Chain A
Amino acid sequence: MKLLIRGGRVIDPANEIDAIMDVLVADGKIEAIAPNIQAEGAINIDAAGKWVCPGFIDMHVHLREPGFEYKEDIASGTRAAAAGGFTTVCCMPNTDPVIDNAAVASFVRERAQKSGVVNVLPIGSITKKQAGRELSEMAELVEAGCVAVSDDGLPVADSAIMRNALQYADMFGLPVLSHCEDLNLARDGQMHEGYYSIIYGLKGIPAAAEEIMVARDIILAQTTGAQVHICHVSTAGSIDMIRDAQERGVQVSCEVTPHHLILTDEIVGSYDADTKVNPPLRPLEDVVALREGLLDGTIDCIATDHAPHHLESKDCEYNLAAFGISGLETAVALIMDKLVHPQILDAETMVSLFTIGPADILGINKGSLDVGTDADITIVDPELVREVNPREFYSKGKNTPFKGMVLKGWPWMTIVSGRVVYKEGKIITE
């Protein structure tokens, strides 16, 4: 079966392409990119006015399966990904059981094959049961298809273990994704510690809780020569340290979430628990620093930290609510509306942050429209205006502080290995 995507603006930063062209897909692979392709018998897709990009990759999501299917499962989470324009997601290991062995990793991949609609690449845990003590069997995890290791949410507090993990993972070229949080400093914290935490009377999480661990991980990466990736950076201090380390040649990369690029801690005053997230929403100075980091290349990619929760974990007292935002279905529209349309971020940089950026960190053969590679394609309609309506989410997690926001620029079509899985608001299954 052939697909011919005609007349769209093809944006492929990996190949430095930004032009009106056609893309021909055959047998699930990219067959050709050129102006005015003629292809007998191909299904035509008119992409005039749309942006045709390599499939977007979200390297930080929580699919909750196995163990927490009431929050999300692989079927609903991958549909949310497709609706959000993502063709590949990397799922964090904090499931039950934890993805700390080949059996669980294989289970996730099989479930994804059976019930998923986009590529699912599991992330294994750094330590067994994410307990922070013994290293997981990483060779086995790589064998089972894991593309990285992380103890996301339960950061490795023991610096000796973390150093060992970086050294050991480096043998396999396996990136270590570090959720940087000093749990003692952050204990009982509900929001960023600062002016608004005084005003709202909520226990604060100081920026130092993140920055101390960022500093530690940079030092460990430097002394071991291994690669470390900092998850969801959120403070100006973290950005400064990472920038400095990169300039010194330390192998440190980092990601940022859409919500940390757009929201500030002021909105916590509604006590709407959908604003409760970890790391917490930060003040304007930090948002400005994150945007600078995005523009000067310090930040390598945008990831959602998609953290779906059941309604009851959010519709309650702020202190009792779970941390997290259901982010897959709003990420692209938020970046389009808040950063691309206001000309803070150009289209090519935006696309690379969602494609070749994460692909390079993970070392996977995705994120470009190279001829012969899997035909994972995201088509964005830059002019489409729509309201964020969580009730229409494919994700089981309706927890978003962006509800009701009207945004311009949404995913229009999502193609995975040459198959259209999402088109104009609808998931397409055979």
Chain B
Amino acid sequence: MRLEPKKKLMDDMGIKRAITRIAHEIIERNKGVENVALIGIRRRGGPLAQRLAERIEEIEGIKIPVGILDITLYRDDLTTLAAQPQLHRTEVFFNINDMNVVLVDDVLFTGRTVRAALDALIDIGRPRCIQLAVLVDRGHRELPIKADYVGKNVPTSHTEVISVLVSEIDGKDEVVIQDILKE
């Protein structure tokens, strides 16, 4: 598989602005953050949730609980994978019962990851509601799932690949798009 050169969709400032906007939207939608928790989907949802929490704290002066969800055990494609993905811990060390939980992920695509995350979340508690925040929504949903907060809507084709890079994992903040070249 060969990829065409990368095209930058967002730079570090773009990502920062999107996070700030989503932080404001979360505060507004939930009428404050008294009862809000952020849970990032492993891997890149984790750092994004952390940044959102920091931004919300800057704005509201309140530290809200942040967790990380590992959805491996809930995936619907395990039997088709040759090798098992490395299983990590789910790090939600607070009670999510009756909380407004905001799931955070980097890219919303088919919706299958979010479906798995919803199941995983419900197995660890009973939130009052679950909302979804993503940095990029690239379309092509296969399940009836919709994001509540979107950093950027990017119309894509099936053959394109969207990569979200975050400095905590990748050393820099960037969103790029590449197309698979036909042989």
A and B touch in the complex (CB under 8 A): no
